[in-house]
Amino acid sequence: MAPVLVSLDAGVETITLNRPEKLNALTAEMHQRLRDALERAADDAAVRAVLITGAGRGFCTGQDLAERDVSPGAAPIDLSVSLGSHYNPLIRRMRALPKPIVCAVHGVAAGAGANIALAADIVVAARSASFVQAFSKIGLVPDSGGTWLLPRLVGTARAMGLALLAEKLTADDAERWGLIWKAVDDDKLAAEAKALAARLASGPTKGYGLLKRAMYASPTNSLDAQLDLERDLQRDAGRSEDYREGVRAFKDKREPRFSGK
């Protein structure tokens, strides 16, 4: 079986991390397949939303720790190579994808696995799931955008606690802290995540892409710059077919039928 499964159904590209015997710990091959899947999502107009999920009993435990030789006498390791070639491009690709990404987290999301999940646009987690900034347990710094995202989502005090203590944060606490969109009962996770992705896939795709750009530019922009950006992006949104359809549907008092254009 491929370590990452990709399928397309009704506008939703589902990407399933599929190395369940290792809790979907990430290998170089998996990164390659993730890259291919996200490139396809970007290029193929038939893809209007992405759903990321994991097979087996957990979502993902980050980098496969067995990929590197840390035995005494082994050659020094340069982890920046892996970040530069795999993890950083993955997070950038997710954030830049002009289509919404839903991530369904169950079991454990640890290390880079947690931060990849948090880089999605909407994160839904099973109530029994947990998020662990496991990095400090092995002497590392939170990566995959963790040190950028965590303080912005939960504040520096909680971000530091999560990073230094590397304790499991329950899905309920993650929801309460504003780290994720929602915690749901375990038996509802798959259906809930699928429904969200399907709903987004039938939405105004162009508008969603522009919305992502605005939202993710916000943390580093001044209000002035953000107002200008909103003006420019709204110009583009207003030229979409879906804007016209949305307003027509409103006037006709019916549900809109968005084409994604």
Residue ranges that bind ligand LHQ, judged by CB under 6 A: 22-23, 25, 61-66, 79, 82-83, 87, 108, 110-112, 134-135, 137-138, 140, 143
CA–CA dist 126, 192 (Å, integer): 10
Distance CA 212, CA 20 (A): 31
- Contact status, residue 29 vs residue 65, Cβ threshold 8 Å: no
How far apart, in whole angstroms, are the C-alpha atoms of residue 122 and residue 199? 12
Contact 3, 19 (CB under 8 A): yes
One-letter identity of residue 180: I
C-beta of 20: minimal distance to ligand LHQ in Å? 9
Question: Do residues 217 and 153 touch, judged by C-beta distance below 8 A?
Answer: no
Question: In the complex with ligand LHQ, which residue's Cβ is closer, 68 or 188?
Answer: 68
- Spatial separation of the C-alpha atoms in residues 103 and 60, rounded to whole Å: 12
Nearest residue (CB) to ligand LHQ, 11 versus 54:
54
Using the minimum distance from each CB to ligand LHQ, give the nearer residue, 11 or 113.
Answer: 113
What's the rounded Cα separation, in Å, for the pair 180 and 124? Answer: 7
Which residue, 48 or 93, is less far from ligand LHQ as judged by CB? 93
Q: Give the dihedral sign, CA 65/58/41/216.
A: negative
Nearer to ligand LHQ, 63 or 205 (CB): 63
- The residue (of 62 and 207) whose beta carbon lies closer to ligand LHQ is 62
The least distance separating ligand LHQ from the CB of residue 107, rounded to whole angstroms, comes to: 8
Q: How far is the CB of 142 from ligand LHQ (least distance, A)?
A: 8
> Greatest CA separation found in the chain?
73
Least gap, CB of 5 to ligand LHQ (angstroms): 19
- CB of residue 22 vs ligand LHQ: minimum separation in angstroms? 4
Helix (H) or strand (E) holding 13: strand 12-17
Least Å distance between CB 148 and ligand LHQ?
15
